[in-house]
Each structure stands twice: as structure tokens, then as C-alpha cells.
């Protein structure tokens, strides 16, 4: 009899769990579909600066209030946006690394969402505002954002400054945690877009971490709550990006903010925006941040995360999310032939493209390199090409140095490419003046004189006999080089 009752109870709990999970899935789908309505149109690319966010902050109204809580080393304001009157304090901050801007855009979308009404989300919004008090700090490192660099203007990596607190921005973050004592903190970053989900070869679009707070990676109630919220966010994101959510490894980093904030008693959630092919400015990942953050806020406000993911199951479910792997190149060329010392070798080429800031406020250029070479059969590429039967051949540089972008327009690019001339050296150009060129525009360096090897620029030809079958242009296969530099 007793066992029958227990079985019934277990069934009931399971049903409740399923119900809560279904509700979260539906809500996430509705938020995803509605995101466009809340998208702050100020932000169309990741290289926006502090001067772009300040005017937007000044327009925010009920139920949001904005106050300056500090100043960066170079005098830029650090602003806290508050909403809600509830007993559960939640702290969210973005862009402690200046070149990790995706979640800042999502926070501004969240601001617009919180100000809206009559859109079918009123119940959810009112619950969040009644049960929690949200403290949101977009762009914690505005001096880094100014240069679009990870570190602060004093070259400090804020995420290794939680102990020394040498940068004023770090002091602000620690003070907020110590005075607000948030139940949950959201630490919002971008990660290397070439991370894979485990060794699946799939790109990690979003990664999470329930940060460890000690070397033993102990799971206490504070950290268990991180896992519950992350498992919930992962579950809803799977419907938009199946198999493309990963988790960061949880090695304890004693100098990092996430690890320390978890140690100081705030449930810490790290969200890392990764990459997605065809979404260089990460607008889709911004939308996924919006959905994930609101999913978690709703679960915090309703205290349903424990119902969605019961404590006894959470560790297994959390650990079932694959860790970030390092198995992807931007471009992987397989089975090319290269001749070295008169002897042919079969090689795969692992090519990556790195963003380089330019003088232009929003544009950037790519610098590509051949980062690995040899048998890369255990790796994958975001783009792949099978070069079986094709031989790696050096490309040629246009013989004259051009004085301006106008000169470049006069060239018969198609004809030059037929002759294997795919790069041109320019004299006076400013970086960023040559977007979308069908040639590799070189500022300083030169092309390798023989088939390029490890560490060299990925501009070369793939030939079958004397015929050019493919052109690789600064790491792009048969495309324009997209603002190429050397
Ligand atoms: Zn970061």
C-alpha cells in the first residue's frame, strides 16, 4: 500500500516536472518569435561604443531606472539599470571584456521588453517585476569597448582581477555583489567562435558554466542552483540550436569574478556567446541570449527551476551537456597535394581567420593563417573542401603597388585571377578602406614564394595540372576577401 502511494507520488512529481518543462519550452518559443519587436535598432554590429549606449540609457522609462554606479579608468560612466520591486535580487552584467558585446545588445533588448505591455507577456513580466529586483550593468568595460579589445585601458584582464581589484571597473562589480547580495548573477561573455560541442564537430553557439568556487569543484546549494538554471536554459535552447549548446570546463580559476562571486554566495551563471556560420555580427546569438536570460529570470521569479530539474537529477543533466571542444577551423581543406623537396605529400590545411580592428568605427578586417597542417582527419571545419587531386600552388602578387582604392577598381580582376594573380599591394590606404574586394589587399607583407606552410597567410591556388580550380583568398574559399589585410 505504502509503495503504491509512493509510486503515485513519484508519478505526480514526474508529471509536474514535465508540465513545468513544457511551459518553459512554449514560453521560450514565444519569446524567440517575438524578439524582433524588442530588438533595439541602435545596435546593428558588435563594435558599438560607450557613446552609443549613453543616449539609449537616457531614454529608458518606467519600470526602469538608471543610475551611475561608477566610472571607468578613462572616465566613462558605468550605469546600473534597475527594474522590479521584488525580494529576490538578481545582478546581470555584460562586456567585462571589451570585445564581447553580444549580450550587451541582448540586455538592451531586455530593457525594451521590460518597458512593453499588452503584448501577451504581461503576466510573465509582472511576475518578474514583482518577485525580483533586477540590477543590470551593460558594458562593464567601456574603455575596452572603445578599442574593441578584451582588456581595460590599463591592460588589465578584469576576469583575472577579482582578487587584486586594481581596475575601478572591478571594484564596482565587487561592490555591487557585496551590497546587493544577489541571489543570482549573470556573467555575460563571448567565447572563441571556433569552439565545438565536445567532439561532435558542431559549432558551439552558446556555452554555459556553473562556475566552481573551489579546487574540488564542490556542489553546494548555491552552485546547484546555477546548474538547475543552466539545464533549464539548455533545454529550451535545444529547440532553436539542436546539439549546439556546450559547457565550459569548470576548473577553478581563483582570480576570476565568476568563481569568486559563486564563492561569495551568489548563484553564478556564465553565458558565453560563441559563433554561428553566416552570422558574423551575432544577431541570432543576441536573440538566443534574450530568450535564455528571460527563461532563467522567469524560473527565478516563479522559483520553478527546482521543479523543472529536481536536485537529484541536476548534476547528471548538467554533465550531459558536452564540454567545449577545440576541433574546428574556419576553413578545413582536406587531401590537398603539396610538393616539398620534389616529393608530393597529402595534407589537410586548418585555416583560421582573425578579426583585426580597422580605423573604421564598425568595420574590421581579417588576417588569416594556416594554423595546422598535416593529417587533420580528427578535426572539422566550419567550411570544408575536399581538394583530392588538387595541388597547393603559390598565388601571385600584382606587380605594381597601387596608390588608392580607385586604382584597384580599374583592374580586370577576373582576368588577373585566371593568371593566378589574386593579391595586390596598396600604398596609402587606410585599413578598412577596401571592403569586399575580390583580391587579397596587402598593406605591408608579401605572399609566400612557395606553397604556403604553417603560420603563413592562407592565400594560394589549388591547381589541377596547369588549371586553377580554386582560389583561397585570405582564408576564404572562392569568395571576396571581405576587407582583407595582411
Ligand atoms: Zn570574456
Q: In angstroms, what CA-CA distances link 435 with 367, 408, 431, 432?
A: 13, 12, 9, 6
pLDDT value of residue 432: 54
> Mean pLDDT across the stretch 170-183?
98
Fold equal for 16-325 and 329-477: no
Banded pLDDT at 481 (limits 50, 70, 90) = very low
For the chain, percent of residues with pLDDT exceeding 70: 94
How far does the centroid of ligand 1 lie from the alpha carbon of residue 195, in Å?
Answer: 14
How far does the centroid of ligand 1 lie from the alpha carbon of residue 92, in Å?
Answer: 14
Question: Cis omega (within 30 of 0) on the bond before 363?
Answer: no
How far does the centroid of ligand 1 lie from the alpha carbon of residue 435, in Å?
Answer: 28
Q: In angstroms, what CA-CA distances link 368 with 73, 195, 331, 420, 445?
A: 33, 17, 10, 19, 13
How far, rounded to the nearest angstrom, does the alpha carbon of residue 387 sit from its chain's CA centroid? Answer: 31
How far does the centroid of ligand 1 lie from the alpha carbon of residue 151, in Å?
Answer: 9
> Mean pLDDT across the stretch 260-279?
96
How far does the centroid of ligand 1 lie from the alpha carbon of residue 128, in Å?
Answer: 27
196 pairs with which residues across the strands?
Answer: 203, 325
Q: Report the distance separating Cα 384 and Cα 269, nearest Å.
A: 34
pTM score: 0.93
Q: What's the sign of the alpha-carbon dihedral 164, 169, 171, 177?
A: negative
How far does the centroid of ligand 1 lie from the alpha carbon of residue 366, in Å?
Answer: 21
How far does the centroid of ligand 1 lie from the alpha carbon of residue 96, in Å?
Answer: 7
Q: Which CATH superfamily is domain 16-325 in?
A: Zn peptidases (3.40.630.10)
How far does the centroid of ligand 1 lie from the alpha carbon of residue 45, in Å?
Answer: 18
- DSSP class of residue 160 equals G
**Other Cβ atoms within 10 Å of 147 Cβ, number:** 14
- DSSP class of residue 67 equals E
pLDDT value of residue 429: 54
How far does the centroid of ligand 1 lie from the alpha carbon of residue 376, in Å?
Answer: 29
How far does the centroid of ligand 1 lie from the alpha carbon of residue 100, in Å?
Answer: 6
Q: Report the distance separating Cα 48 and Cα 348, nearest Å.
A: 38
pLDDT tens-digit map of 348-388: 999 999 998 877 766 788 889 999 999 999 999 999 999 99
Banded pLDDT at 445 (limits 50, 70, 90) = low
- Packing angle of the helix pair 50-59, 102-115 (nearest 10 deg): 10
pLDDT value of residue 426: 78
How far does the centroid of ligand 1 lie from the alpha carbon of residue 430, in Å?
Answer: 29
Is pLDDT at 323 greater than 50 in this prediction? yes
How far does the centroid of ligand 1 lie from the alpha carbon of residue 121, in Å?
Answer: 31
How far does the centroid of ligand 1 lie from the alpha carbon of residue 76, in Å?
Answer: 20
How far does the centroid of ligand 1 lie from the alpha carbon of residue 302, in Å?
Answer: 30
How far does the centroid of ligand 1 lie from the alpha carbon of residue 110, in Å?
Answer: 20
pLDDT value of residue 244: 98
pLDDT value of residue 434: 56
How far does the centroid of ligand 1 lie from the alpha carbon of residue 34, in Å?
Answer: 28
How far does the centroid of ligand 1 lie from the alpha carbon of residue 187, in Å?
Answer: 9
How far does the centroid of ligand 1 lie from the alpha carbon of residue 386, in Å?
Answer: 34
In the chain, where are the structural domains located?
16-325, 329-477
> Mean pLDDT across the stretch 386-408?
89
How far does the centroid of ligand 1 lie from the alpha carbon of residue 218, in Å?
Answer: 24
How far does the centroid of ligand 1 lie from the alpha carbon of residue 101, in Å?
Answer: 10
pLDDT value of residue 446: 77
How far does the centroid of ligand 1 lie from the alpha carbon of residue 190, in Å?
Answer: 5
Banded pLDDT at 10 (limits 50, 70, 90) = confident
How far does the centroid of ligand 1 lie from the alpha carbon of residue 88, in Å?
Answer: 26
pLDDT value of residue 366: 84
Is pLDDT at 90 greater than 80 in this prediction? yes
How far does the centroid of ligand 1 lie from the alpha carbon of residue 4, in Å?
Answer: 51
pLDDT tens-digit map of 205-262: 999 999 999 999 999 999 999 999 999 999 999 999 999 999 999 999 999 999 999 9
Is pLDDT at 33 greater than 90 in this prediction? yes
How far does the centroid of ligand 1 lie from the alpha carbon of residue 456, in Å?
Answer: 28
How far does the centroid of ligand 1 lie from the alpha carbon of residue 271, in Å?
Answer: 10
Higher-confidence residue of 65 and 433: namely 65
Q: What is the mean pLDDT of the chain?
A: 92
At the second CATH level, the architecture of 329-477 is: Roll (2.30)
For the chain, percent of residues with pLDDT exceeding 90: 79
How far, rounded to the nearest angstrom, does the alpha carbon of residue 60 sit from its chain's CA centroid? Answer: 26
Kindly report which listed range (39-53, 181-195, 432-446, 470-484) carries the lowest average pLDDT score. Answer: 432-446
Banded pLDDT at 332 (limits 50, 70, 90) = very high
pLDDT value of residue 482: 47
Is pLDDT at 103 greater than 80 in this prediction? yes
How far does the centroid of ligand 1 lie from the alpha carbon of residue 104, in Å?
Answer: 12
Amino acid at each position: 500500500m505504502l509503495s503504491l502511494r509512493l509510486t503515485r507520488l513519484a508519478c505526480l512529481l514526474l508529471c509536474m516536472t514535465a508540465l513545468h518543462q513544457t511551459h518553459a519550452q512554449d514560453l521560450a518559443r514565444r519569446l524567440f518569435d517575438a524578439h524582433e519587436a524588442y530588438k533595439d535598432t541602435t545596435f546593428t554590429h558588435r563594435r558599438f561604443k560607450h557613446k552609443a549606449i549613453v543616449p539609449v540609457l537616457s531614454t529608458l522609462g518606467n519600470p526602469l531606472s538608471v543610475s551611475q554606479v561608477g566610472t571607468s579608468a578613462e572616465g566613462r560612466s558605468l550605469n546600473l539599470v534597475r527594474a522590479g520591486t521584488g525580494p529576490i535580487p538578481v545582478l546581470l552584467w555584460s562586456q567585462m571584456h571589451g570585445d564581447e558585446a553580444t549580450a550587451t545588445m541582448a540586455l538592451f533588448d531586455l530593457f525594451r521588453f521590460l518597458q512593453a505591455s499588452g503584448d501577451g507577456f504581461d503576466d510573465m513580466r509582472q511576475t518578474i517585476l514583482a518577485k525580483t529586483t533586477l540590477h543590470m550593468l551593460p558594458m562593464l568595460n567601456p574603455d575596452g569597448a572603445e578599442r574593441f579589445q578584451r582588456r581595460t585601458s590599463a591592460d588589465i584582464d578584469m576576469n583575472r582581477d577579482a582578487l587584486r581589484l586594481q581596475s575601478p571597473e572591478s571594484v564596482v562589480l565587487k561592490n555591487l555583489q557585496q551590497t546587493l547580495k544577489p541571489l543570482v548573477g549573470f556573467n555575460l561573455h563571448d567565447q572563441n567562435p571556433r569552439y565545438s560541442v565536445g567532439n561532435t564537430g558542431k559549432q558551439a553557439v552558446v556555452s554555459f558554466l556553473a562556475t566552481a568556487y573551489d579546487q574540488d569543484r564542490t556542489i553546494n546549494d548555491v552552485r546547484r542552483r546555477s546548474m538547475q538554471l543552466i539545464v533549464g536554459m539548455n533545454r529550451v535552447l535545444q529547440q532553436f540550436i539542436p546539439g549546439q549548446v556546450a559547457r565550459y570546463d569548470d576548473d577553478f580559476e581563483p582570480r576570476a569574478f565568476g568563481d569568486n562571486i559563486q564563492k561569495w554566495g551568489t548563484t553564478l551563471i556564465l553565458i558565453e556567446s560563441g559563433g554561428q556560420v553566416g552570422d558574423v555580427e551575432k544577431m541570432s546569438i543576441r536573440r538566443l541570449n534574450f530568450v535564455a536570460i528571460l527563461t532563467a529570470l522567469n524560473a527565478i521569479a516563479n522559483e520553478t527551476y527546482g521543479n523543472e530539474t529536481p536536485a537529484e537529477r541536476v548534476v547528471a543533466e548538467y554533465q550531459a551537456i558536452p564540454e567545449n571542444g577545440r576541433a574546428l577551423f574556419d576553413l578545413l581543406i582536406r587531401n590537398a597535394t603539396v610538393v616539398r623537396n620534389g616529393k608530393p605529400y597529402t595534407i589537410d590545411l586548418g585555416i583560421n581567420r582573425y578579426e583585426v580592428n580597422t580605423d573604421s568605427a564598425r568595420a574590421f578586417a581579417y588576417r588569416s593563417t594556416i594554423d595546422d597542417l598535416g593529417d587533420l582527419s580528427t578535426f572539422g571545419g566550419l567550411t570544408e573542401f575536399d581538394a583530392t587531386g588538387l595541388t597547393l600552388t603559390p598565388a601571385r602578387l600584382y606587380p605594381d603597388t597601387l596608390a588608392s582604392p580607385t586604382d584597384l577598381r580599374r583592374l580586370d580582376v577576373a582576368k588577373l585571377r585566371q593568371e593566378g594573380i589574386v593579391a595586390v599591394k596598396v600604398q596609402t590606404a587606410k585599413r578598412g578602406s577596401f571592403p569586399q574586394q575580390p583580391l587579397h589587399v596587402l598593406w605591408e607583407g608579401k605572399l609566400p614564394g612557395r606553397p604556403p606552410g604553417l603560420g603563413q597567410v592562407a592565400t594560394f591556388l589549388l591547381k589541377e595540372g596547369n588549371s586553377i580550380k580554386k582560389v583561397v583568398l585570405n582564408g576564404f574559399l572562392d569568395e571576396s576577401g571581405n576587407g582583407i589585410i595582411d
